[in-house]
């Protein structure tokens, strides 16, 4: 059945709410003329039940983690416990204003201080800022900190090294921070090639950015040697900790030699994201980088929680306010509910789930690197090519099986990549069903490839013309406009 747009449901004269009559003298000059609208908002005129039913119906069509398995690799769609929502909605938090005086917000400041302490303990580092509003923002903040450190030592340097398996935002962050990107090819085992690293290290290298475990789902087993090489060259070592799911309570980046780590709270620590939801990308640093942290910094002095005194070497404020506070409340709740033992267990379970899927599927899909996976596993869908099928066709077909597709075509160094992260909360039964679906799709590719070319069939809309969608950016509803 075709679902009408809200503008198609609308009819002039319908009302969703009726405001009470004005009981004070009307004033027309309270808003300056230059700030007043010159035309109507153009909102649809609908009744309250129609509005509610329309958006509830749309929400039921959307795939989300509360509805089904969401196996995005790297992006980590982890289940968000409902206790997180209860604590984030406490009136003492939701009622705070960004300009609230610190003396009236000591509970919130205490939460920030304790969350920061937890992240420092988890990472094995010495200082933290919670300000960055997302992962890429955390990357840029970390690079700005490293640049400030080098500038204080008399030379900002020119280059930052990244492996070819790096997160896609790393190069953009490096260039934005004013550095040149040096891409390092992976070795045959998918790990950092120490000989290749030695060949590009010189006095112009400011830092190396590493995702560990890498986007291939592999732990960099030579990381201590890498850290020594970087530090011997006078550079700093940065870890893109967008996902610490494989390391909680097991290993700490600080113990491996990292100087800077950004952590995505909206991945590892269960806070929801996706669909435009807020993120949070705290940055933790080693002692010698603490003076450069953004301001303000929440601190505890005696029994008082307040903002710390400014540091003359700080890189300054990196956001309008102190980050996405509601995300921090959720992450704090998750950490305190789990405790040290629970966090370690979650990482162990995430690793087990990823390797269980690997075992189920490795006889059917190629695994480019034959090593134990960490929190995610990367397959190649090249097996489809002999049937005239591509990974994107298989991903579309998964929707008909009731599963969201994994990340596809990333990392770029794996042809026809399927990057799968099951997370720790998924059951064996869910993983079995997902593997059976992928195996079934491969059988369909052999027997009836045209079926996959037309998928999906059970979704509200079928296969979209993605090239046209990318070009046709005007998505306003116009009943009189002809479409292709």
In 315-324, where does DSSP find H-type helix? none
* pTM metric for this prediction: 0.90
In angstroms, the Cα distances linking 233 to 199, 221, 254 are: 12, 20, 19
- Tell whether omega for the bond before 213 is within 30 degrees of 0, i.e. cis: yes
The DSSP secondary-structure symbol of 319 reads S
Helix/strand/coil for 283: strand
**Cβ neighbour number for residue 364 with a 10 Å cutoff:** 14
Q: What is the pLDDT of residue 483?
A: 47
The CA distance from 46 to 55, in Å, is 12
Cα Rg of the chain, angstroms? 25
pLDDT of residue 41: 87
User: Domain extents for the chain?
Assistant: 6-61, 83-337, 346-470
Q: What is the CATH number of domain 346-470?
A: 3.90.1150.10
Q: 78 and 425 in contact (C-beta within 8 Å)?
A: yes
Task: Quote the CA–CA distance of 442 and 380 in Å, as a whole number.
Answer: 12
Rounded to an integer, what distance in angstroms lies between the CA atom of residue 435 and that of residue 441?
A: 10
Helix orientation angle between 391-400 and 428-447, rounded to the nearest 10 degrees: 120
Q: What dotted CATH number matches 83-337?
A: 3.40.640.10
Q: Which residues does 378 contact at the CB level (< 8 Å), separation at least 6?
A: 73, 215, 216, 217, 367, 368, 369, 411, 414, 417, 418, 419, 420
pLDDT value of residue 470: 81
Q: Can you give the pLDDT at residue 9?
A: 92
Question: What pLDDT tens digit does each residue of the chain (484 aa) get?
Answer: 457 889 999 999 998 888 899 999 888 888 898 998 889 888 999 999 999 999 999 888 888 888 899 999 988 888 999 999 999 999 999 999 988 899 999 999 999 999 999 999 999 999 999 999 999 999 999 999 999 999 999 999 999 999 998 888 999 999 999 999 999 999 999 999 999 999 999 999 999 999 999 999 999 999 999 999 999 999 999 999 888 999 999 999 999 999 999 999 989 999 887 655 688 999 999 999 999 999 999 999 998 999 999 999 999 999 888 889 999 999 999 999 999 999 999 999 999 999 999 999 999 999 999 899 999 999 999 999 999 999 999 999 999 999 999 999 999 999 999 999 999 999 999 999 999 999 999 999 999 999 999 999 998 888 888 888 788 776 565 656 554 4
How many CA atoms does the CB half-sphere of 157 hold within 13 Å?
Answer: 26
Please give the Cα distance from 329 to 319 (Å, whole number): 18
């Amino acid at each position: 059945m075709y679902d009408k747009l809200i503008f198609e449901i609308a009819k002039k004269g319908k009302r969703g709410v009726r405001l009470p009559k004005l009981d004070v003298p009307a004033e027309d000059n309270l808003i300056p003329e230059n700030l007043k609208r010159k035309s109507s908002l153009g909102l649809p005129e609908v009744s309250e039940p129609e509005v509610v039913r329309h958006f509830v119906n749309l929400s039921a069509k959307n795939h989300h983690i509360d509805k089904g398995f969401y196996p995005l690799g790297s992006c980590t769609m982890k289940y968000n416990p409902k206790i997180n929502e209860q604590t984030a909605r406490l009136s003492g938090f939701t009622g705070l204003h960004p300009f609230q005086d610190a003396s009236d917000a000591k509970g919130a400041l205490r939460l920030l201080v304790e969350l920061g302490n937890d992240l420092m303990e988890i990472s094995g580092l010495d200082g933290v800022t919670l300000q960055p509003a997302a992962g890429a923002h955390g990357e840029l903040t970390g690079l700005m900190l490293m640049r400030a450190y080098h500038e204080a030592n008399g030379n900002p340097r020119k280059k930052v090294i990244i492996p070819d398996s790096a997160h896609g935002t790393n190069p953009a962050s490096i260039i934005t921070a004013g550095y040149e990107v040096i891409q390092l090819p992976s070795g045959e085992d998918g790990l950092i090639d120490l000989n290749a690293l030695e060949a590009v290290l010189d006095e112009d290298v400011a830092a190396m950015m590493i995702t560990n475990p890498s986007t291939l789902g592999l732990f960099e087993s030579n990381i201590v040697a890498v850290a020594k090489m970087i530090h011997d060259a006078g550079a700093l070592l940065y870890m893109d900790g967008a996902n610490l799911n494989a390391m909680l309570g097991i290993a700490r980046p600080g113990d491996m030699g990292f100087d800077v780590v950004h952590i995505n709270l909206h991945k590892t620590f269960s806070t929801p994201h996706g669909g435009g939801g807020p993120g949070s990308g705290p940055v933790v640093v080693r002692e010698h980088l603490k003076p450069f942290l953004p301001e303000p910094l929440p601190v505890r002095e005696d029994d008082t929680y307040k903002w710390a005194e400014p540091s003359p070497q700080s890189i300054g404020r990196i956001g309008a306010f102190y980050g996405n506070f509601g995300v921090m409340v959720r992450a704090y709740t998750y950490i305190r509910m789990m405790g040290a033992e629970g966090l370690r267990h979650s990482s162990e379970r995430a690793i087990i789930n990823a390797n269980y899927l690997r075992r189920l599927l490795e006889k059917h899909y190629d695994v480019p690197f034959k090593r134990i996976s960490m929190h995610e596993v990367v397959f190649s869908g090249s097996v489809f090519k002999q049937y005239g099928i591509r990974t994107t066709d298989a991903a579309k077909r998964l929707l008909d099986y009731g599963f969201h597709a994994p990340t596809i075509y990333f990392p770029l160094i794996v042809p026809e990549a399927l990057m799968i992260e099951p997370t720790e909360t998924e059951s064996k039964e869910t993983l079995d069903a997902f593997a059976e679906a992928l195996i079934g799709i491969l059988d369909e590719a052999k027997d009836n490839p045209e079926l996959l070319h037309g998928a999906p069939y059970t979704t509200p809309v079928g296969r979209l013309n993605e090239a046209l969608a990318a070009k046709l950016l005007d998505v306003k509803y116009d009943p009189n406009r002809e479409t292709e």
